[in-house]
Amino acid sequence: MAPEPDAFDEQELHLLEEAADDLAFGLEALRTRHRRLQAEQEILCLNRALRTRAAVNSALGRATDEASLFQEICRVVVEGCGYRLAWVGIPEPDEIMTVRPWRSRGSTRVS
């Protein structure tokens, strides 16, 4: 029994310390898992960007004209790299710097 009525005895303190240690361990495990999942997601995004770069470089090597190059880039970005939409715009010579879509592939619709 504890020396004071509202105090914990040695055994209770020991159990509370073990519970606190278990909680700290569990929290750290959750945080580690969360960081790992974030890192895995970042790797997936970077790999997709790298595949996109390689696909664009390949399209550059096969291009015969500007219009077909941009159409092919839009195609490989959507079909080969998994992006929902790709487009190339042409700047208009106006005061508000309008960009007019010239070539595109994909959809802005969310399924």
pTM here is 0.65
* Model pLDDT for residues 79-104, shown as the tens digit of each residue: 999 999 999 999 999 999 899 998 99
The helix (H) or strand (E) run that includes residue 103 is: strand 99-106
CA distance 36 to 17: 28
Cα distance from N-terminal residue to C-terminal residue, the chain: 64
* Model pLDDT for residues 2-26, shown as the tens digit of each residue: 567 678 888 999 999 999 999 999 9
Q: What Å distances lie between residue 96 and 99, 100, 102, CA to CA?
A: 9, 12, 18
